[in-house]
Amino acid sequence: MANLRDIKRRITSVRSTQKITSAMKMVAAAKLRRAQDAIESGRPYAQRMRETLEDVASGVPDAEHPLFDLREDKPERTLEIVAVTSDRGLAGAFNSQICKAVDALIEKRQSRYAQIRISCVGKKAADYYRRRRPSQLELVHLVRATVTYGEAQGIAKNLMERFTDGQVDDIVLVYNEFKSTMTQTPRIVPLLPFQAAEKDAAAEPDDQTAEYEIEPSPEALLATLVPRAVEVEVYRAMLENQAGEHAARMTAMESATKNTEELIEKLTLEYNRARQAAITRELVEIVTGAQALE
């Protein structure tokens, strides 16, 4: 059995850890409120942006744009997977589930592509693939504490340039979608080439469907709208990741705080037993010595 000094030292250490985890939980909760407001405000805009672009693209089937190029007949195609994670850990399985989703996607699609590359938004995914797939790692983008549109715009611009230059033929986003404080689900979103949603020809026309008059031309509108839609999609992925990270860290720190409480109770009980055994041993020695003197 450990002596009293060692047990007391462990109790002090666990209490110090408890203060840290409790403080981290409070900080994550405060950041989560702001991040949740940001993603809830951004989702409708991103969804409406994509719907508008799909309406314009489907209404003008012959419209051309470099980001619409499917390249299905290309003999050796290249896929780039953009994994969005956080820069910091202590968030449970938040980052590891993205890496698992990317690995599963690679195994599923490696027969369809001559080459698969990985770009990472966030340090955790970069560290993971530097160890396991260094030859496939392409680009690494670190994220700030607070996501900005300018940051997402820069990442999207880089991806669009690589696509239009022919360096990659398909780009897929993989990120955690913020569902609730307890749930963050990996989501796989095709980013490029952009494809308009296919409409069911057998469906009855909706009398309330709006008809658009596009000026000066659909091509001019697409030239502005398509790059903006890609930027907004990347921005949404980063906002989802930001909210999910704070939620996962808050949950993980809450669980860690509860574990420290249980450990302190266990160590306190062990300390009391050891102290009682030491007192009993001293009493026995005193009684034995008194009897020996008699």
Domains annotated on the chain, with CATH = 23-196+212-251 (3.40.1380.10)
- C-alpha to C-alpha distance for 38 and 40, rounded to whole angstroms: 6
Pairing of strands 115-121, 78-84: parallel
How would residue 293 be classed by pLDDT, with cut points 50, 70 and 90? Answer: confident
Distance, CA of 270 to CA of 67 (rounded, Å): 66
Residue 156 or residue 291, greater confidence: 156
Q: What is the pLDDT of residues 237-254, one digit of tens each?
A: 999 999 999 999 999 999
| Nearest-angstrom CA–CA distance, 4 and 123 | 43
pLDDT tens for each residue of 185-215:
999 998 888 765 554 444 455 544 555 566 6
Put simply, whether the predicted model's pTM sits higher than 0.95 gets the answer no
Q: pLDDT by residue (tens digit) across 14-59?
A: 999 999 999 999 999 989 888 888 888 888 888 888 777 777 766 6
Q: Element (H or E) spanning 293, and its range?
A: helix 218-293
Contact 225/4 with Cβ under 8 angstroms? Answer: no
Two structure tokens written together for 78: 């290249």
Widest pairwise Cα distance in the chain: 116
What is the three-class DSSP state of 244? helix
| Residue, of 9 and 284, whose pLDDT is higher | 9
The percentage of the chain sitting over the pLDDT mark of 90, rounded to a whole number, equals 36
The pLDDT of residue 175 is 94
